[in-house]
Amino acid sequence: MDRAELRSRGVAAARIALDRSRHAVLPETWKRTRLLRALAATPELGEIRAALAARQWEQAHAALAHHFVTRPRRFAIGRDDRTLLAHWIRHDFPSAPAEAAARADRIVAGDYDLLGYRSLRFSSALPDWHRDPVHDRRAPDGFWSTVSYLDPACGDHKIIWELNRHQHWIALGRAYWLTGDQRYRERCIDELYGWLDANPPLCGINWASMLELAFRSLSWLWALHFFVEASADAERPWTVDLLLALDRQLTHVERNLSHYFSPNTHLLGEALALYVAGRTLPELAASRRREETGRRVLVAEIDRQIAADGGHCERAAQYHRYTLDFYAFALRIARLSGDPVAPRFERATAALAEAARLLADDEGRLPHFGDDDGGALLPIVERDAHDARGSLGIAAALLNRSDLAIAPVEEALWIAGCREVSVPRSTSEIRSAALRDTGYYISRTAGTSHVVIDGGPHGYQNGGHAHADALSFTWTVRGVPFLIDPGTACYTFDHALRDRMRLSAMHNTLTIDSLPQSVPDGPFHWLRVADTRVHRWESSDTFDYFDGSHDGYAPLEHRRRVLVLHGDLLVIADLVDGTGSHLAALHWHVDPRWNVAVAGRRTLFTTDGHTPVELFVPDGHIESIAGDDDSGLGWCSPAYGALQKTTTVRVTHEATAPFWTASVFDAHRVNPVVNVEWVPVWAEARAIAHGAALRITRAESTDFVLFAEPAHGTTINPRAREIADATWRIAEMQTDARMLYWRSTPDHHIERVAMVDGRLARHEGAAASHGIPSCDDRSASSPQFRNSQSAVRTIS
């Protein structure tokens, strides 16, 4: 800690200790008279302030309601929008009213969906706001800083907090506006009073996390704008009580911002609540201070938390989506309220949305890299946690960028207030790309394949939301998830499950001697982490190539090459570099929609209505594992709290390092692969540091793939630098390339060639009339192969 952090923590600790002492002597309670002090002393609030001073609560409520209905709009929705917005939604999304009503009816009946848990019920008419109904445990009462919410004895704090975010009030509001059913409004007001009774200021688990107070504050702002009515004489003074409690919670947030405790999306969410509440509620005296604090943090964190490529620095797809939603909502409020900071938020939103669109497949699914807690900022429409269509649709509408949208979404109407949501562009316009700063490399074949490779650093700061997944990848085939990241499952309630889901064996990467690349130390810390290095990324119209390594098994090195031939093959070659005998294990985690059949060194994957995918390995032992409790393999967590049986294909190979292992996936099946085997790589002494080659025998042709590292590009043999123009040979091809692929017909015609980092490819057995057309458009002008001495010059 530097001096600033020590000073900040010291001041906070002293203040909390003082508050705790006061709480022990005289616990704070909700007192409506305090709202008078919290309100701004402005003429337009005179009638409200007079009613509060006279303790005429119903009159104060009626005056507040009239004020909010008639004042200028400052929030995403306004009362003047209700009729037109509901009309638009019914027209553009005809099923929305029925879906909204069905969801709201369940909430009125006390039936809640929280995270990955469905149909959670509570024993009383209103929820016990401190209880985890899944594990039947209740968090203790007491001063907020004394609640050990990470202790499983309290239950799973994520479940308790998810309910207390009150985001289901947004669902009630949506249904109320679309149907006019008063039950939804009454349920929200009933829950408000139930919550206030159970959660006096600074008491209990629901005051322990500033982020949770921030989310709840935003939900209350939505509820205020959904449910406030001009004629509010004959009802409880809920606007008085809501504003009073909202002001108290915002004060708690601004006094305990997560500058040092959790300076990531926690800090962003807290700042967003202060900014939005400050800009939306000038009626509160502290709003100017809060909006300035929130704005300052949001602007400062753009450079700290958003990488130059637009990715979020935590490198977890779920938290990237959170951050996109934060800045998109801040942008909407800034524009509505005329804040000059809006262009800064616009640029941040655009960068985050562009990265999210690359990470998402053509159906809008994000990969499960890193933690996924199942939460959302704006769950207006029910979506799976990995579904980014809503977030991208909001960003597309706010930025007027159809290239970001995947489909028209209802959320864009609620948030952006914009019906003219552009029709999404064809997915064929989205190409392969690299988020180099964040460390994600995306290979995309329109309508066929979406591969995301993790080549980035291990998380952000302490890596609290990172997994031991260096060089892993996910793969969607023809719109169906195929190789998946198995997810998160839980945070603190089950320590063994938490660690298991983060370990390397639960990701599509290689383990050595059954060890993880990075070693966890508690639910949000690491004892040791792998450092990843990307050596090469090359993308073209016909193939993508990735080459990376990490030191998680030092002094051994794991180096992975990935070759994607668009619409054809996926080739993964893994090198274990070092000395000694070791057991390498590849883990391929398959989405539950696929059936798996292992036969020898090949595995067939089938799913309804789609062309099969087949895996071939040149050596090693393949086994299929489903729902195994001993190894922990064969499970996935599609959402926080949910654990589902699936299949893990494990390929093991034991050898003396350095050695290679490879996997070839045939997803095209037009010229199907029938066998894969290693072939030797010939080179002059000291010319090559390591190299491997595969012969892929197909029904109508033979493919060859070479991966090589010149000795002068490493430190293995410094004297090899003296070698000039070193080449190596595989089968009938001589080259100096680090990656070379070609396809040969039975009569030795060369149909396709792809090369990376090479100057020549000489086919010694070709006839004079044979040509070598390049796979890469940038090599289309290369000289044709006229005799055995001609060279094809390609990218370098």
Angle at CA of residue 453, ends 452 and 454, nearest 5° = 120
Q: What is the pLDDT of residues 250-306, one digit of tens each?
A: 999 999 999 877 778 999 999 999 999 999 999 999 999 999 999 999 999 999 999
Angle at CA of residue 369, ends 376 and 638, nearest 5° = 60
Of 460, 501, 451, whose CA–CA distance to 640 is shortest? 501
What is the pLDDT confidence band of residue 712, given thresholds at 50, 70 and 90?
low
Confidence at residue 656, expressed as pLDDT on a 0 to 100 scale? 97
Rounded to 5 degrees, φ, ψ at 17 are -60, -40
What is the pLDDT confidence band of residue 426, given thresholds at 50, 70 and 90?
low
The CA–CA distances, whole Å, from 167 to 197, 253, 380, 639 equal 19, 18, 8, 17
Q: Are 441 and 455 in contact (CB under 8 A)?
A: yes
At 252, is the secondary structure helix, strand, or coil?
A: helix
Q: Whole-angstrom Cα distance, residue 301 to residue 317?
A: 18
When mean pLDDT is compared across 177-181, 739-743, 770-774, the lowest value belongs to 770-774
What is the pLDDT confidence band of residue 780, given thresholds at 50, 70 and 90?
very low
Backbone CA torsion sign across 103, 104, 109, 113: positive
Say if residue 749's pLDDT is above 90.
no
Confidence at residue 423, expressed as pLDDT on a 0 to 100 scale? 53
Residues 6+ apart with CB under 8 A from 462: 524, 525, 526
Cis, peptide link before residue 555, omega less than 30° from 0: yes
Residue-range domains of the chain with CATH: 467-670 (2.70.98.70), 671-796 (no CATH)
What one-character DSSP code corresponds to residue 617? Answer: -
Rounded to 5 degrees, φ, ψ at 153 are -60, -25
What one-character DSSP code corresponds to residue 530? Answer: -
Confidence at residue 788, expressed as pLDDT on a 0 to 100 scale? 28
Interval 344-358 mean pLDDT: 97
Q: Which two tokens stand for residue 73?
A: 């709009």
Interval 604-612 mean pLDDT: 92
Residue-averaged pLDDT of the chain: 90
The CA–CA distances, whole Å, from 681 to 69, 562, 690, 734 equal 77, 19, 9, 10
Share of the chain above pLDDT 70, in %: 92
Q: Burial letters for 119-155: b for 16+ Cβ neighbours within 10 Å, e otherwise?
A: ebeeeeeebebbbbbbeebbbeebbbbebebeebebb
Interval 199-208 mean pLDDT: 97
Q: What is the pLDDT of residues 399-425, one digit of tens each?
A: 999 899 999 999 999 998 876 554 555
Confidence at residue 770, expressed as pLDDT on a 0 to 100 scale? 33
Say if residue 652's pLDDT is above 70.
yes
What is the pLDDT confidence band of residue 717, given thresholds at 50, 70 and 90?
very low
Confidence at residue 461, expressed as pLDDT on a 0 to 100 scale? 82
Interval 588-617 mean pLDDT: 95
Confidence at residue 462, expressed as pLDDT on a 0 to 100 scale? 82
Residues 6+ apart with CB under 8 A from 398: 328, 331, 332, 346, 349, 415, 416, 418
**β-bridge partners, 549:** 533, 559
Say if residue 775's pLDDT is above 70.
no
- Where helices occur in 464-590 by DSSP H, the ranges are 495-502
More confident residue, 750 or 707: 707
Q: Whole-angstrom Cα distance, residue 174 to residue 96?
A: 9
Share of the chain above pLDDT 90, in %: 79
In a 10 Å sphere around its CB, with 0-12 CB exposed, 13-18 middle and 19+ buried, how is residue 710 labelled?
A: buried
Confidence at residue 610, expressed as pLDDT on a 0 to 100 scale? 87
Confidence at residue 80, expressed as pLDDT on a 0 to 100 scale? 85
**What dihedral angle (degrees, nearest 10) is formed by the CA atoms of 262, 266, 267, 271?**
-160
Q: What is the pLDDT of residues 568-595, one digit of tens each?
A: 999 999 999 999 999 999 999 999 999 9
Q: Are 791 and 783 in contact (CB under 8 A)?
A: yes
Confidence at residue 598, expressed as pLDDT on a 0 to 100 scale? 97
Say if residue 767's pLDDT is above 80.
no
Residues 6+ apart with CB under 8 A from 83: none
Rg (CA), the chain: 30
Q: Whole-angstrom Cα distance, residue 605 to residue 506?
A: 19
Q: What is the pLDDT of residues 672-708, one digit of tens each?
A: 999 999 999 998 877 889 999 999 999 999 999 999 9
Confidence at residue 521, expressed as pLDDT on a 0 to 100 scale? 93
Confidence at residue 419, expressed as pLDDT on a 0 to 100 scale? 64
Interval 324-345 mean pLDDT: 97
When mean pLDDT is compared across 154-168, 338-352, 619-633, 707-721, the lowest value belongs to 707-721
Q: Whole-angstrom Cα distance, residue 332 to residue 418?
A: 11
Confidence at residue 232, expressed as pLDDT on a 0 to 100 scale? 60
| Sheet strands side by side (includes 613-616) | 532-539, 543-550, 557-565, 569-577, 659-666, 613-616, 602-606, 595-599
